[in-house]
Amino acid sequence: MKKIGLILVISIFSLSNATAQLIKVDQEVFGMDCAPCAYGLERGLKKMDGLESVKVSLNDGKAYLKLANSNELTLQKIQKEVKNNGFSARSAEVTLYGELAKEGNEWSVHVNGETFKVSSDTPDDILTKLKPGKVKLIGWVKDEEDDGLSNTWNIRITEVL
């Protein structure tokens, strides 16, 4: 009986960790001005664990990352890798699944140890759809300092899925 209880606890813990995650990141990349630069960044990003696919577009100035199920990647890790490859990473469009909570009048989503605070410029019609609990959403984040070290982000939600 103890074995079954332990397995159940481990399973529940694993599921709760696996459900909060980044799903997709379209990261703007600044300073990328040649095809070898884009190729080098793509190779650098592909070395990260938890990615399903990576495409870097010189024309768009973006890195498109689709993340594997049950990944533990954070936006901080992704932006740090961009910076380690010699570029700046400030704005990103993210699709994520996490725990939405409300403290006072502020909403936030928690994903893999990062906090995404809902920005005041999120449209009112989207804010009325928010409810505490698990949520999948799309939004824009911006790293004002471009240091790749933040684990708290302001997110402008554009869609709740």
| Domain residue ranges of the chain, discontinuous segments joined by + | 2-160
pLDDT tens digit string along 91-100? 999 999 999 9
User: How confident is residue 125, by pLDDT bands cut at 50, 70 and 90?
Assistant: very high
2-160: CATH topology is Alpha-Beta Plaits (3.30.70)
Q: What secondary structure does DSSP assign to 41-97, as a single string?
A: HHHHHHTSTTEEEEEEETTTTEEEEEEPTT----HHHHHHHHHHTT-B--EEEEEEE
Query: What's the predicted TM-score (pTM) here?
Result: 0.84
